Amino acid sequence: MQKKIVLVGGPGSGKTSVISELSRRGFFCMHEVSREVTIDAKKKGIDQLFLEKPVLFSELLLEGRIQQYNEAQKSNSPIVFFDRGIPDIEAYLEFSNTSYSSVFSENSKNLRYDFAFHFKPWEEIYISDNERYETFKEASIINQHLVETYKKYNYSMIEVPFGNITERTDYIINRLQ
């Protein structure tokens, strides 16, 4: 039976670096889709789609994450890692205080992950860039919304300790064995 593992945490907490390392080690990984959505919107003249049209941004994310989930299920891989999951979308909508339809919660309930590894905010490694516009304080608030949302869907969060990429990756792999 396939294990679906989601990496959860606010922006800049190290998830993507660990996903890249897991991928380098040969694991089947689903990379974050929000950067693609943001970059595509910028090409269409929308500088920050999440800020300007949060529901549209979230609908595009949901579409991409459902596609990833289905692609993972079709694979023969016994373990699949996801850089963010479907409940993240709802957490970000809560962070932005945006009203949204039940389609987000329905998918969070129905498309489940087997393990959720949580990356706490880590100011020492936090970097803003063209697609990551949040301050560290905002990233910490987003993290709180993420934790609350995953708990709402009865996930037990496994805390990933601070450390270098190799240590954090090894920790996750060892916890799964």
> Which domains occur in the chain, in start order?
3-176 (3.40.50.300)
Q: Name the DSSP letter for residue 97.
A: T
Helix (H, G, I), strand (E, B) or coil at 13: coil
Query: What is the per-residue pLDDT across 129-156, written as a single tens digit (0 to 9) for each?
Result: 655 567 779 889 999 999 999 999 999 9
**CA 151 – CA 154 distance, rounded (Å):** 5
Share of the chain above pLDDT 90, in %: 67
Is 47 a residue whose pLDDT tops 80? no
Instruction: Give the tens place of pLDDT for each residue, 87-116.
Output: 999 999 999 898 999 999 999 999 999 999
Average pLDDT of the chain is: 90
Helix runs in the chain, H state only:
15-24, 34-43, 49-52, 54-74, 86-95, 103-110, 136-152, 165-176
Whether the full predicted model's pTM is greater than 0.85, yes or no, is yes
Give the pLDDT of residue 148: 97
pLDDT score, position 129: 61
